A and B are shown apart, each in its own frame.
Chain A
Amino acid sequence: MESPGEAPVDETHVGKKKKPPARYWQELQEEERKDENKVKNDAEQSKEAQQQEDDETQKAKKRKQDQSPSDGEKVKPGKSDPFPGPAPIPEDRLQKFKRKDKLKKPHRKQHKLRDIIARSEDASEMAQKQAARFDLLLPEEAGFLEGDEDEDTCMISQEDIAEAVDITSGAKYFNLKLSQFGPYRLDYSKTGRHLLLGGRRGHVACIDWTSKQLMCEINVMESVNDVKWLHSEAMYAVAQKKWLYIYDSNGIELHCIRKFNDVLRMQFLPYHFLLATASATSFLQYLDVSVGKEVAAICTKTGRLDVMCQNPHNAIIHLGHANGTVTLWSPNQKEALVKMLCHQGGVRSVAVDKTGTYMVTSGMDKKLKVYDIRAFKPLKSYFLPAGAACLSLSQKGLLSAATGDVVQVYKDVCSMPVTKPYMAHRLRGTVWGLHFCPFEDVLGVGHGDGFTSMLVPGAGEPNFDGLDANPYRSAKQRQEWEVKALMEKIQPDLISLDPTELAQVDQATWEQRHQDRVEVLGFDPLAKEKFVPKYKKKGRSSAGAIERRKKQVAHEEQRDVIRKSVEDKVKMEKERKERERKKAALSTQKSALDRFKK
């Protein structure tokens, strides 16, 4: 970086030597020196970064100086760049974009591999730095809510918040009074623009909730267990009394899927185009919505499945059971990947955060527990007097828990012990569905008396990625995105606990791989063939002769082993003798000091 103060001042036609104007940083530097102790940490960090950069560029600099000594003369003594090198990047921001640890350097003999690894690591480091720098340019900032002194944030009412914020944001707090077809489940689309409501008594409505525009409203004349958007806002699935139905955004029934019966809960895996359903008959089924095929049907044998959530990090489905266990499922395995005993009573609700690190569960024992699901270890346990019926985690990690007709929102549940909620709100009926709206500071609550959209500052991710989920996309952009997304649909067999497994080196031993091969083929291709003596003419293939020949071949391998071991033994013996001989020769040699011996 070059600073404008560095420019050489032309002095020929000005008699008096001009002093360059003081720059803002020169004063700053002096101030900094004064309170150096305060900012020492920061300075050290930046220094370290600079030093690294320096080391890297030292050679280049040296070369430059050698080439053009005139450059060196131009720089005036006593003046130096106040901000040498590129701007330092804060460590935590670099950490955010870190993909993996550095590889161990291979042996020097493997110079090609060494070179490849070094180069790829350089590239990924540069990408990491660039991404971290780009973070500064993100346009939006996250929301927050701070109380005044001795004011609890949980005492602030929704009306006050809606009044305090701007009109468009204030309008995001609203109630829909729908007492007729009561309690409602809901789902937000992936972009957060569209809301889907499903009333227990058959009322299904989809709404563009920001503009409050009703897209369609139907009554399916059957009880509705759950509703879910599919990959875009053009289609949604409704789990009805008997079967699973798919409707389009105009409310036209597209499919009735009779293979999926008595569905209670659904989850949609957007990158796999899989609709996972949990049924009252304890079946977990996966439907590929891009081709309309059932991918897997797993009988969990654990009774009625009405607690379900997905891990957005690795597309594993979590099911909660009446005996207090939470089980993890993938479509590739008929048994649960993991079974965790989480609660004394039944599990009422499960939620997983978007990084796939924490799982929050609530049970009949009125406890709220936080688990680290990478290590399957309990982290925190809270006691809620009323117990939480529904849980939902937001993009920024806020936890909302519904206890009866009260919705409580907690902050930082996973990392530090929490004593009181961040926000609370009482509704008219018992809560039935709970969902944070992606990319908005909004919590949607479906309850017995309709739907409430709450403002929860700091809940949503402020900066969306336009290529992934763009709330402002046009119809054309949606079409393009749909094609792209379908093209890179991840196959269901790639679902595993560790989503980065695919990029790791397969270090299975030969024995392991051979065993797998034998299992797949059903026989051992490398097994030794059984010796069958050739048929010989002229009476030489009599039973006795055949037996003799067989005997010759039998134990051949064993003989080989024995021969080898005997050879080894002989060799060792020889070596030992040689050693002894040398030793003896050494001992018999007379040294000059022997004459002092008695």
Chain B
Amino acid sequence: MKVKVIARNPDDYVRETKLDIQRVPRNYDPSLHPFEVSREYTRALNATKLERVFAKPFVASLDGHRDGVNCMAKHAKSLSTLLSGSCDGEVKVWNLSKHECVRTFQAHEGFVRGMVVRFCGTSFFTVGDDKTIKQWKMESPGYGEEEEPINTILGKTVYTGLDHHQNDPVFATCGQQVDIWDEQRSSPIRSFTWGVDSFSSVHFNPVETELLASCASDRSIVLYDMRESTPLKKVIMTMRSNTLSWNPMEAYYFTCANEDYNLYTYDMRYLAKPIMVHMDHVSAVLDVDYAPTGKEFVSASFDKTIRIFAKDGGHSREVYHTKRMQHVICIKWSADNKYILSGSDEMNIRLWKANAAEKLGVLAPREREAANYSQKLKEKFQHHPQIRRIARHRHLPKTIYHQTKELRIMKEARRRKERNVRKHSKPGSVPVVSEKEKHVVTVVK
């Protein structure tokens, strides 16, 4: 007779001393783990609920400006530095990790319209309503010294925006025309006009660094090549775009913030139709900025909210608002992809988390593993109705909630009317125009 029965030595399964961690032998046999799917679903549901519980995006408010914050600039090299310019011409430099202002000075008379940090991070430029472009040193002046710009250029017209080249000492301003400046000269090396009298913003392409795009007040977006003497092409839309932002990863895409409450992502090679229309705001969109990953962007609107969109999502994945935040004028996504900075009318700069439920600070390895696991679960079960309902739910201020509803009703009515018109007219005479095509008037080359 040969016989063997299971005989376990408890020493193999129990920790030796109290200081050890407990032993956990594993067996991955599926038959020992029944109800895999249901349990994972339950975990995903819990993870989704917890995500909503922990969604506390607001980190800090930086106050100190004495007028609305009109523009902001990220530092090129330092994550913790932020520059902001207000409507009274004051510029402040902030230390984000300490939540404090490190430097304040009067840069312009009237609005600070635009500011940009030079790619090396040692100086920055500002333009203002006083028709000047000023270059400032990044470090604050020593004790007893006056705040003085390194360089001041007196222009003929008001400048409304500027951007600096990625790696050359060249910058571009916009106002009545788009000017390209050499840092060493006091007159523009090139000026672009295309029959319009004012531009609201200009942005260099981050990859094809000689390319620029600007938003004009005649409802158009104009593309330029710095090496050529004339603009490349422009697309005219039904309403004016306020500003635009290039996708830093796929730099042939840019997203523009429009007055008609929408954002439009265009492929610069095919301007006839936007790639995607991003809807959700209930008032004019004032600013937009891409995440450094190029997968998402954040938009600031006149409706007192900030929304985060996926680059290919028609609706926002997140909306931020507070009772006190008024019209949000400028927005930036921090270079470490973790924070969002918003400057608004009521003189405050707010620091938000880019992922509302993310835990800040250093994560222990097990913590990180658990977070990754629950993230994957949420992804896996995201289309289940109950989970989707919880994940999508956002509280909105009453006004915005009602405005959204109103807009939806209006849109539905318009759609119904169009359908009726089509029904009662000769077949083919009222073509179906898609939402994407609706907002583009024409493309001019």
Restricting to B1-52, which residues have a CB under 8 Å from any CB of A?
1-8, 10, 12-14, 22-39, 41-43, 46
Inside 8 A of A96's CB, which chain B residues have their CB?
29-30
- Structural contact, A145 and B3, CB atoms closer than 8 A: yes
A: interface residue count bin: 35 or more
**A140-B42 contact in complex given A466-B24, A499-B37, C-beta closer than 8 Å:** no
Inside 8 A of A166's CB, which chain B residues have their CB?
7
- Structural contact, A139 and B1, CB atoms closer than 8 A: no
- Structural contact, B32 and A461, CB atoms closer than 8 A: yes
Tell which of B6, B14, B25 touches A142, judged by Cβ atoms closer than 8 Å. B6
- Structural contact, A472 and B13, CB atoms closer than 8 A: yes
- Structural contact, B35 and A499, CB atoms closer than 8 A: yes
Whether A164 sits at the interface, judged by CB under 8 Å, is yes
- Structural contact, A148 and B6, CB atoms closer than 8 A: no
- Structural contact, A146 and B30, CB atoms closer than 8 A: no
* Nearest CB on A from B226, distance (A): 36
Inside 8 A of A500's CB, which chain B residues have their CB?
36-37
How far does the alpha carbon of A168 sit from the alpha carbon of B111 in the complex, in Å?
Answer: 87
- Structural contact, A271 and B39, CB atoms closer than 8 A: yes
* Nearest CB on A from B28, distance (A): 4
- Structural contact, A143 and B4, CB atoms closer than 8 A: yes
Inside 8 A of B46's CB, which chain A residues have their CB?
487-488
Tell which of A99, A144, A463 touches B3, judged by Cβ atoms closer than 8 Å. A144
Tell which of A460, A472, A494 touches B6, judged by Cβ atoms closer than 8 Å. A460
Closest to B423 in A: A560
**A164-B6 contact in complex given A96-B30, A138-B27, A488-B39, C-beta closer than 8 Å:** no
Inside 8 A of B37's CB, which chain A residues have their CB?
499-503
- Structural contact, B38 and A156, CB atoms closer than 8 A: no
Whether A150 sits at the interface, judged by CB under 8 Å, is no
* Nearest CB on A from B48, distance (A): 13
Q: Per-position contact with B for A271-314: 1 when CB-CB < 8 Å, else 0?
A: 10000000000000000000000000000000000000000111
Inside 8 A of A148's CB, which chain B residues have their CB?
1
Whether A220 sits at the interface, judged by CB under 8 Å, is no
Closest to A165 in B: B5
Inside 8 A of A465's CB, which chain B residues have their CB?
25-29, 32-33
Closest to B24 in A: A466
- Structural contact, A463 and B2, CB atoms closer than 8 A: no
Restricting to B319-338, which residues have a CB under 8 Å from any CB of A?
none
- Structural contact, B34 and A499, CB atoms closer than 8 A: yes
* Nearest CB on B from A128, distance (A): 10
Whether A468 sits at the interface, judged by CB under 8 Å, is yes
- Give the A-B pair count, Cβ closer than 8 A: 139
Restricting to A310-337, which residues have a CB under 8 Å from any CB of B?
312-315
Inside 8 A of B29's CB, which chain A residues have their CB?
96-97, 135, 461, 463, 465
**A161-B38 contact in complex given A97-B30, A488-B46, C-beta closer than 8 Å:** no
Interface centre among B23, B25, B42 (most CB of A within 10 A): B25
- Structural contact, A139 and B12, CB atoms closer than 8 A: yes
Inside 8 A of B27's CB, which chain A residues have their CB?
138, 461, 463-465
How far does the alpha carbon of A499 sit from the alpha carbon of B7 in the complex, in Å?
Answer: 34
- Structural contact, A165 and B4, CB atoms closer than 8 A: yes
How far does the alpha carbon of A503 sit from the alpha carbon of B37 in the complex, in Å?
Answer: 6
Tell which of A463, A466, A468 touches B23, judged by Cβ atoms closer than 8 Å. A466
- Structural contact, B6 and A145, CB atoms closer than 8 A: no
Inside 8 A of A494's CB, which chain B residues have their CB?
38, 41
Restricting to A411-425, which residues have a CB under 8 Å from any CB of B?
none
Inside 8 A of A474's CB, which chain B residues have their CB?
14, 22
How far does the alpha carbon of A472 sit from the alpha carbon of B38 in the complex, in Å?
Answer: 27
Tell which of A99, A145, A503 touches B2, judged by Cβ atoms closer than 8 Å. A145
- Structural contact, A146 and B38, CB atoms closer than 8 A: no
Inside 8 A of A355's CB, which chain B residues have their CB?
31
**A147-B1 contact in complex given A472-B10, A490-B38, C-beta closer than 8 Å:** yes
* Nearest CB on A from B352, distance (A): 30
- Structural contact, A160 and B41, CB atoms closer than 8 A: no
Whether A346 sits at the interface, judged by CB under 8 Å, is no
How far does the alpha carbon of A455 sit from the alpha carbon of B7 in the complex, in Å?
Answer: 12
* Nearest CB on A from B170, distance (A): 39
Closest to A143 in B: B5
Whether A404 sits at the interface, judged by CB under 8 Å, is no
Inside 8 A of A439's CB, which chain B residues have their CB?
6
Tell which of B1, B4, B28, B43 touches A131, judged by Cβ atoms closer than 8 Å. B28
Tell which of B7, B10, B13, B43 touches A488, judged by Cβ atoms closer than 8 Å. B43
Interface centre among A97, A439, A466 (most CB of B within 10 A): A466
* Nearest CB on A from B379, distance (A): 11
**A140-B6 contact in complex given A465-B32, A487-B46, A490-B38, C-beta closer than 8 Å:** yes
How far does the alpha carbon of A501 sit from the alpha carbon of B35 in the complex, in Å?
Answer: 11
How far does the alpha carbon of A470 sit from the alpha carbon of B10 in the complex, in Å?
Answer: 12
Whether A338 sits at the interface, judged by CB under 8 Å, is no
Inside 8 A of B24's CB, which chain A residues have their CB?
466-467, 470
* Nearest CB on A from B286, distance (A): 33
Q: Per-position contact with B for A557-598: 1 when CB-CB < 8 Å, else 0?
A: 000000000000000000000000000000000000000000
- Structural contact, A490 and B35, CB atoms closer than 8 A: yes
Inside 8 A of A457's CB, which chain B residues have their CB?
3-5
How far does the alpha carbon of A488 sit from the alpha carbon of B12 in the complex, in Å?
Answer: 29
Whether A345 sits at the interface, judged by CB under 8 Å, is no
Inside 8 A of B30's CB, which chain A residues have their CB?
96-97, 99
How far does the alpha carbon of A395 sit from the alpha carbon of B28 in the complex, in Å?
Answer: 15
Inside 8 A of B6's CB, which chain A residues have their CB?
140, 142-143, 169, 439-441, 460, 462
* Nearest CB on B from A442, distance (A): 8
- Structural contact, A502 and B3, CB atoms closer than 8 A: no
Inside 8 A of B14's CB, which chain A residues have their CB?
472, 474
* Nearest CB on B from A271, distance (A): 5
Whether A134 sits at the interface, judged by CB under 8 Å, is yes
- Structural contact, A467 and B26, CB atoms closer than 8 A: yes
Whether A515 sits at the interface, judged by CB under 8 Å, is no
- Structural contact, A144 and B2, CB atoms closer than 8 A: yes
How far does the alpha carbon of A97 sit from the alpha carbon of B28 in the complex, in Å?
Answer: 8
- Structural contact, A313 and B34, CB atoms closer than 8 A: yes
- Structural contact, A502 and B38, CB atoms closer than 8 A: yes
- Structural contact, B25 and A464, CB atoms closer than 8 A: yes
How far does the alpha carbon of A501 sit from the alpha carbon of B14 in the complex, in Å?
Answer: 38
Inside 8 A of A473's CB, which chain B residues have their CB?
22
How far does the alpha carbon of A147 sit from the alpha carbon of B43 in the complex, in Å?
Answer: 48
Tell which of A156, A271, A463 touches B34, judged by Cβ atoms closer than 8 Å. A271
How far does the alpha carbon of A145 sit from the alpha carbon of B4 in the complex, in Å?
Answer: 6
- Structural contact, B1 and A146, CB atoms closer than 8 A: yes
Which A residues fall within an 8 A CB radius of B? 96-97, 99, 131, 134-135, 138-148, 151, 156, 160-161, 164-166, 168-169, 172, 271, 312-315, 354-355, 439-441, 455, 457, 460-468, 470-474, 476-477, 487-491, 494, 499-503
**A-B contact list, 21 entries, CB within 8 Å:** A99-B30, A134-B28, A143-B3, A145-B1, A145-B3, A148-B1, A151-B1, A164-B3, A165-B4, A165-B5, A355-B31, A439-B6, A460-B6, A461-B27, A462-B6, A467-B24, A471-B13, A476-B22, A487-B46, A488-B43, A490-B38
